[in-house]
Structure 1
């Protein structure tokens, strides 16, 4: 993995074998991404004339005196690019593009949201986000990062940095032992086991557990468990129950 995008422009011979077989020559631009994805573009359109996504192996040779060659191999497919004449060669910083959501309090870099996280384009600090959150315009009063609105039983406004303000702690404070287990005399505890769960305190004797859904509590289901108002309608804490509607 490289630490930026490599760009080469020149008169190249491009050979592909395997699923796509072709021999090409032309004045092209070759992009080598940080995940080793290779794209070869000519002058027309947006579609590359040759490419290989995240190859298993890649051998790259690019020097300032115009020497350039690249061989990428993945699962029977092979892409070779050799320069006949070089017009330009460079390496440039690259990041995942995302929606700007604020300014990093540590380096004044731009914070962007993409692929379930907020990342700083400056210092590369990364903050993973829970599912179905809204980033707010208001900054955290403690650390200066953006805040988010997230619904897990009720609407919480929290810092995007879980080390600053924890969603798990907020849901636990609001709902731990608030609901009775329908299968024994225990109460449901808020626990983290991959996902946020309301699980019986008598575990392992009682294995009853429910994933806490995205939404806000809206009364009680006919089965006795809490009902939630979600983006897809009203539902029971028990996703298999059909009595909440």
Structure 2
């Protein structure tokens, strides 16, 4: 969710598990043996690496289930549909569990723990305390900092706004509402369009439920008026009316 700060303890969902040993590696294509490491990722991806190059000897991506045992030696069995990957140690060399995260673009330091903040896709997360902040669609993280210590971001919703990464500090809803609430009229009944949050930001008719007109406010800036009377937006995908179905 956009701008929401979450603090959660490390769990299996954050852990990289590494097994090392002289192993038998069983796949649907046959059996290999060698001194390898087995990497188990939080999404149930299993990779088996030897000393040659970057390509795994065997792998199974996002398995439906993974079972592992450790009793002197170790075994890892991953199943995805009709495919099975099983690794059994003949001689176990070691085992370790390490904190892991999605790698992203550095965007500053976390004000809570001073560890790095990184952006991966639509989320900015801390590598230390597990703070996470969802980004609105189309948002870009800026170099500037909010008074709370978090990075600021730029978001276009009718106009270009700069605000804190955390909605608890500066909610995008309130900024857009202050600028555009009642700014446009409903093309069906003439009532004012109110800025609302229903999953995303909407411009919905004030006369609801008698009038059910509502439009998602796109990622873009208003550049004028459409022939239908609604605002026209400049977006990353080109110019369009507030009403995505309008061809005017």
Same fold (TM over 0.5): yes
Match of 1:234 in 2: 239
User: Separation in 2 of the partners of 1:30 and 1:240?
Assistant: 51
CA shift digits 1:177-231 (9 cap, x unpaired):
1100000121111111122111111112211111101111111111111111122
TM-score by length of 2: 0.90
Pick from 118, 124, 135 the counterpart of residue 118 of structure 1: 124
Match of 1:81 in 2: 87
Contact 1:2-1:36 within 8 A present in 2 as well: no
4+ aligned runs moved over 4 Å, structure 1 = none
Match of 1:54 in 2: 62
* Residue 25 of structure 1, CA deviation: 1.4
Match of 1:200 in 2: 205
Pick from 218, 224, 227 the counterpart of residue 223 of structure 2: 218
Name which structure has the greater RCO, CA cutoff 8 Å, separation 6+.
2
User: Separation in 2 of the partners of 1:2 and 1:96?
Assistant: 11
Q: CA RMSD in A?
A: 1.5
CA shift digits 1:81-106 (9 cap, x unpaired):
00112333222221111100011111
Match of 1:7 in 2: 18
After the TM superposition, which residues 101-180 of structure 1 pair with which residues of structure 2 at under 5 Å, given as runs? 101-141=107-147, 143-180=148-185
Match of 2:76 in 1: 70
CA shift digits 1:102-128 (9 cap, x unpaired):
111111010000131110101010011
Query: Aligned residues, how many?
Result: 237
* Residue 76 of structure 1, CA deviation: 2.3
* Residue 9 of structure 1, CA deviation: 2.2
TM-score by length of 1: 0.91
* Residue 137 of structure 1, CA deviation: 0.7
